[in-house]
A and B are shown apart, each in its own frame.
Chain A
């Protein structure tokens, strides 16, 4: 197989293997809960079977060999010789992990086992069947072709042979590839058949075959029919001289026969029975080819082939008079070739040899880095692709109509036609716009994938943690079909893992603790996803011990992360968000899992990078809820256009809680920070013009336009000059030096072609506070 083909095959198998391993993992977890369920056992077995079979076929030899052993264990479970214990399930889950590693290795020739491989194999060894697994299949080594031998072959097909799709004639033809033969057909049974059933085979044959091929090659011809037909193959010792004489005689006889048949065919053709003539010529030409090939006469074989080609051409094409002349010439040429002194070619009848044993895969396949394969291919719903193709087609058609307008405008006569012309152009234009929008939406939707593929790793995670910590935890998952952009899916896995780990490790209490508190011994974690407009919400809820806001505040101050005054001003949710701060952890000893205090700030950074927001709610003793809000599509998102100091910028909608107008008079200043009440809450205020270093407009208004922003550092009010409206934008990140400006997340192109900057509302307030603190540390003279 060519290298390109193999790579394609392997890429395809990696996708298939991913699905198989996922299904396998899920089935194993089910099996642990219900070890006697034979349907689940079958599911496990089938997945392994396919992994092994298709893996081997795609060149993943090591993977196939590894899976083979695990499959054997499960075969025993399937036959009820063994039961699926938790230890066995553990080992098998590890085997799945090992398969992932082996998949990455590809079709390497290196056989050094991976540490995990050795571990798993050792764990399952006691469960393997007693048979010596090291026995290799006895393979008959093909005997090298030597001298020609003669075989007497008796072939009597069973009556029903046609019903197995076998044509005995094809088997006989196959024999002719091996050498020269003499066939006799016994029609006795046919003549005696009464009643005669045309669907049954009454014929039998006796073949004398001279060949240099080993007996095995002869037997191979009958491999599919040997068991239910009478086949006898006897080796015979021909006398040497008789052999060579008869060989030449045979050849002469066979070719004579073929040529006379060809002559007859031409007569048929010329007398008007054209189709019949062609059919006869076809068969005769084939006979001639076989005879020449068997005899090893290359030149004559080529000439005979040319005759067949001409006949075939005539059979499919139109009949013309020229054909007859041509084919007559070709027959003459073949005759000449046959009559030329025949040189005994050393290969003899071996012109057509048996196919060589499968060649090994050429070249080394190197391990591709994880990120490359992650980006390289994407599974797409074929319906979406169809829609895409259709829209692209329609767009091309619609576009095609546009140039015609230019022509028509040139030939415009009067006012009337110009008006209707304008309307037509507008209609065409909006049609193209509509199609382009649809096209873009479809392309975007292709990148949307169900969140299931991120969620499916978590049941195993929770199970492993629960087992390690000897807790009882149930994970409930819902909304897996909710769709998210591929980039978000790829990025949200780690943060979710941290949150869920945290919930399982620190949130859910031990069995004893829970019983003491009157809770059920089984802890519960709910993982859910749902859409709200253009936002997707992912929630992780646990019924564990909840967060202690006061304790968090104290810790933050102790660790020097926040000042006393800062924590005093914090509301409960802001206090909860302290756990997302870098360097924070309330656990004294570092546990293996998430106690190191580095996990949770990853969460905040990742969610921010995805232009999302986090909310945390908690009640001591009852539980905690993490809520991540993400834009459904990374690329197209909604924003609010706002005017500030004569400029236009866009605020991403995902962070906006609501937009209000408040009287200017309610704004107060407390310790240098502007605050204002909105509805029944108080928010710190930030002027957008100030944050973006624009010149503030004259404040003639008595009302302020404020957007309440939901940020990780706490909610705040962002004061703008005017709200201009909602807009859908494609946020493009800024490049180069501009990328370092933290106040903006990117830029977007408006419908009228204008470029506007998109504000980083999530971080804006925190940036301001940081700048203000830095400022206040400066001596008065240096403050701006």
Chain B
């Protein structure tokens, strides 16, 4: 069964890039354009991994992360944050909030795949 990934980002380009890269690698990808929609989707379907941008309207990535960690089904699910290098201070905040890891944008598709493979390893 293909692993299911939720990508949350307000930039259509980023969502497109992630969907393209991961679908080619055999993952099933669902998109959401802001934190609130991401939370709704995550509550309605079961995901193996959630990838979220930090800067978004309606609910930031960190707020989404905290909300997700409160849900029993996402207590131990890998959740990876997408940051820009100027936001390294967010990494610590992310860790505290329960992020599994992060990926810095702009990233090469291979980098994304490496991180996804890493956190989805079982």
* A residues neighboring B (CB under 8 Å): 1, 5, 8-9, 12-13, 15-16, 46, 49-50, 52-58, 64, 137, 162-167, 169-170, 173-174, 199, 223-224, 227-228, 355-359
Contact = CB atoms under 8 A, between A and B. Distances in A.
Nearest to B12: A16
Nearest to B1: A316
7 contacts: A16-B12, A52-B84, A54-B11, A57-B13, A165-B119, A224-B101, A227-B95
B13 A58 contact: yes
Interface string B101-114: 11001111111011
B20 A165 contact: no
B106 A53 contact: yes
Contacts of A169: 122
B46 interface: no
A49 B9 CA distance: 13
B43 interface: no
B122 A170 contact: yes
Residue among B11, B95, B113, B121 with the most chain A CB within 10 A?
Answer: B11
A53 B98 contact: no
> Closest 6 interchain pairs by CB?
A358-B108, A56-B106, A224-B101, A165-B100, A170-B121, A54-B13
A581 B76 CA distance: 74
Contacts of A224: 100-102, 119
Contacts of A173: 121
A5 B20 contact: yes
Interface in B66-122: 69, 75-79, 84-85, 92, 95, 98-102, 105-111, 113-114, 118-119, 121-122
A299 to B, nearest CB: 25
For B12, B98, B107, which residue has the most chain A Cβ atoms within 10 angstroms? B12
A13 B13 contact: yes
A12 B13 contact: yes
A354 to B, nearest CB: 8
A167 B122 contact: yes
Interface string B35-63: 00000000000000000000100000000
Contacts of A16: 11-13
A165 B84 contact: no
Contacts of A1: 20-21, 109
Contacts, number: 100
Nearest to B82: A53
B12 A358 contact: no
Given A64-B106, A355-B110, A49 B13 contact: no
B106 A57 contact: yes
Nearest to B107: A57
Given A50-B11, A227-B92, A355-B110, A9 B17 contact: yes
B114 A355 contact: yes
A584 B11 CA distance: 49
A143 to B, nearest CB: 19
Contacts of A55: 13
A62 to B, nearest CB: 13
A39 B40 CA distance: 27
Nearest to B77: A165
Nearest to B83: A53
A53 B105 contact: yes
A583 B85 CA distance: 58
Contact of B16 (A8, A49, A50, A358): A8
B63 to A, nearest CB: 16
Contact of A54 (B14, B78, B113): B14
Given A5-B20, A53-B14, A224-B101, A163 B69 contact: yes
Contacts of A8: 16, 20
Given A163-B76, A164-B99, A12 B121 contact: no
B49 to A, nearest CB: 8
A50 B106 CA distance: 11
Contacts of A170: 118-119, 121-122
B55 to A, nearest CB: 6
B79 A165 contact: yes
A228 B95 contact: yes
Nearest to B106: A56
A58 B76 contact: no
Nearest to B118: A174
Contacts of A163: 69, 75-76, 98
